[in-house]
Amino acid sequence: MAENRLNRELETRDKTVRKRTWVRPETLPSPTPEEGYEYHWVRISTRGEDDPMNISSMLRQGWEPVKALDHPEIFIAGVESERFKDNVIIGGLMLCKAPAEMVEDRNDYFAKTASNQIHSVDNNFMRENDPRMPLFNERKTKVTFGTGN
C-alpha cells in the first residue's frame, strides 16, 4: 500500500496557491516615511481654480511643500501648476510635510478647542434644566442585541 504513494518531497503546492486579486491603486500615494516628519496633502486648486487662501494658510501653519526629487517613488504624470512645478502635486493636492512635534501640538490645539465647544454647548443646554423635568446629558452609546422580532 505504501508503494503507490508519492514521496512528500515530490509534492508541490503550486496548484493550491490562491490567485491574487486586482486591487484598485491609491488615489493619493503614501510617501516613504521620514523620521520626525508627518505628511499631509494640501489643496491648491478646486475644479481648476487656484485656492491661494488655503495654500497660504497651510504654509503659515508650518507645512512645507515636498520636492518631487525627494520622493521618486511617487509617480507624477504631469505638472499641474507652474508655481509648484518642482513639487509633488496630484489632482489639485500638493504633498507637504511638517515636523511631527508641530503636528502633535496642532492636533492637541484642535482637540482642546473641540472639547471647549462641547462644554459650552452642554452648559447652555443644562442651563435650561428644571428639577420638575430634568434634562439628561449622556454622551455614552450602548449596543444591545435583540431577538430580531
Q: Is the whole model's pTM more than 0.85, yes or no?
A: no
Q: How confident is the model at residue 113 (pLDDT cuts 50, 70, 90)?
A: very high
Q: How confident is the model at residue 127 (pLDDT cuts 50, 70, 90)?
A: confident
Task: Locate the domains of the chain by residue range.
Answer: 37-99
**Residues with Cβ < 8 Å from 63, sequence gap 6 or more?**
40, 42, 96, 97, 98
Q: What is the pLDDT of residues 55-104, one digit of tens each?
A: 999 999 999 999 888 888 886 665 566 677 788 888 889 999 999 999 99
Q: What cell was used for 88?
A: 509633488
pLDDT value of position 148 = 62
Measured CA to CA, the distance from residue 53 to residue 31 in angstroms comes to 25
pLDDT value of position 90 = 85
Measured CA to CA, the distance from residue 50 to residue 23 in angstroms comes to 32
Start-end of H helices in 1-149: 52-61, 100-127
Measured CA to CA, the distance from residue 94 to residue 57 in angstroms comes to 14
Q: What is the pLDDT of residues 9-44, one digit of tens each?
A: 666 666 566 778 888 877 788 888 889 999 999 999
End-to-end CA distance of the chain: 58
